[in-house]
Amino acid sequence: MYRIVFLDRDTIGPGVTLTHPDFPHEWTEYRHTTPQQVVERLQDANIVITNKVPLRADTLAQLPRLAMIAVAATGHDVVDLGVTCERRIVVSNVRGYATHSVPEHAFALIFALRRSLTGYRQDVIRGAWQQSGQFCFFNHPIRDLHGSTLGIIGAGALGQAVGAMGRALGMRVLYAAHKGAAAMGALYTPFTAVLAQADVLSLHAPLTPATRHLIALPEFEQMQRHPLLINTSRGGLVNEHDLVTALDQGLISGAGFDVLTSEPPAADNPLLGILERPNVIVTPHVAWASTEAMQALWNQVIANINAFVAGTPLNQVGEPPDRVG
């Protein structure tokens, strides 16, 4: 009988129905797991489900019975793929589950910042409108999205969905080519040109060594139209100290971030010091987490496990093993 262990159940919302695989198995789940607890909890496991609990080489070396890792996310940097390939451990992730949730969250941030909703809400709370003596007042800029330029870094499913929303609102949409690339086909505009032309810049790229700090002070200084910067992708794409500098210097008009370099943020994270600014919104990595998206994610996790046991693994990452088990 397969023994399945879910290491971090609290990373999936409480409203999600946790269905189980349709073959005989023993199921154990933990609300959260520290790195020091992993080996003990997986000692007899054949299949592990993890979202953010890392499975590194030293840990995997102590888990001889482990045959499959089901990652409850698209990003799989928590797994040492070199070891899993060598050991022929199947690693499957989930894909395409948040193609509505993430773009909608990105545009929620865009709308709120472009129309200064946070600033005006703060004005009403502190009584500024009530004291103004007129039916409205103009403490913060309000700009239409129609006719503006949306720059998108990352042309995968999420980037494409954000672009479709932008076009539906009458925005001109540009997809950035890789930083430093001379030509990448008709879909793409040179990276520096997108920085220069965008009124809104939305990030939808994976975090890799090549994309870490993709946006830093040199890039902010190329943003001629002082755009909004939206990040619902990975925190490490942006140098957060330089982001504060860019806001201080007016190089960008606002920032909407759902992801930070370290999560939850440490007390010295520079963005924590500017949260009261009306042109800054930080949400706690929830762009992906609509009820519908989380249920779709879980359904795919279970489908991946069922497929593995049936001998037809799905959504494998890394080099596919030449046999299952």
Alpha helices per DSSP H over 132-284: 157-168, 191-197, 217-220, 240-248
Confidence of residue 319 (pLDDT cuts 50, 70, 90): low
Confidence check: pLDDT of 4 > 70: yes
Residue 186 has pLDDT above 90, yes or no: no
Determine the length of the chain.
Answer: 325
Report which of 239, 232, 251, 249 is spatially closest to residue 75, judged by C-alpha positions: 232
Task: Dump pLDDT digits (tens) for 231-245.
Answer: 999 999 999 999 999
Least confident of 38-47, 252-261, 314-323: 314-323
Spell out the domains of the chain, with CATH numbers in brackets.
2-97+291-309 (3.40.50.720), 101-282 (3.40.50.720)
Q: Is 240 a residue of the active site? A: no
Tell me which residue of 296, 147, 321, 129 sits closest to 225, measured CA to CA.
Answer: 147
For 267, residues 6+ apart whose C-beta sits below 8 A from its C-beta are none
Distance in angstroms (rounded) separating the CA atoms of residues 282 and 296: 25
Instruction: Show the DSSP H helices in the chain as ranges.
Output: 38-41, 57-60, 81-87, 101-114, 117-125, 157-168, 191-197, 217-220, 240-248, 291-309
Average pLDDT over residues 277-290: 97
The rounded distance, in Å, linking the Cα atoms of 39 and 48 is 11
Compute the C-alpha angle 228/155/271, nearest 5°: 35
The model's pLDDT over 12-41, given as tens digits with 9 standing for 90+, comes to 999 999 999 999 999 999 999 999 999 999
Residue 207 predicted with pLDDT over 90? no
- pLDDT score at 318: 82
Which position among 86, 263, 292, 319 bears the catalytic label? 263
pLDDT tens-digit map of 244-278: 999 999 999 999 999 999 999 999 999 999 999 99
Q: What is the pLDDT of residue 323?
A: 37
285 is catalytic: yes
Q: pLDDT tens across 58-99, in order?
A: 999 999 999 999 999 998 889 999 999 999 999 999 999 999
What are the residues whose beta carbons fall under 8 Å from the beta carbon of 261, sequence distance 6 or more?
235, 236, 240, 269
What pLDDT shows up at residue 320? 54
Write out pLDDT tens, residues 138-183.
Answer: 999 999 999 999 999 999 999 999 999 999 999 999 999 988 876 6
Quote the tokens at residue 15: 């409203």
Q: Choosing from 105, 204, 234, 240, which is the catalytic residue?
A: 234
- Check residue 75 and give its pLDDT: 86
On whether the CB atoms of residues 53 and 41 are closer than 8 A, the answer is no
Contacts of 213 (CB under 8 A, 6+ apart): 236, 237, 238, 239
234 is catalytic: yes
